[in-house]
Amino acid sequence: MNLLRTYRNWRAYRETVNELGRLSNRQLADLGINRGEIQSIARRAI
């Protein structure tokens, strides 16, 4: 069970990083995010 949960968390993290990474700097700024924060935001999302 723990392995499955870890995998799902990793997938959620990667999807969040990928989605935020596809946004332009302007779109990120509109959300109050800069590129350097993407990974930490993705970690908090899981």
- The domain of 33 spans 2-45
How many domains is the chain built from? 1
CA 46 – CA 36 distance, rounded (Å): 18
Note the pLDDT of residue 28.
98
Note the pLDDT of residue 1.
74
pTM confidence score: 0.86
Residues 1-46 pLDDT 10s: 799 999 999 999 999 999 999 999 999 999 999 999 999 999 998 8
Note the pLDDT of residue 45.
86
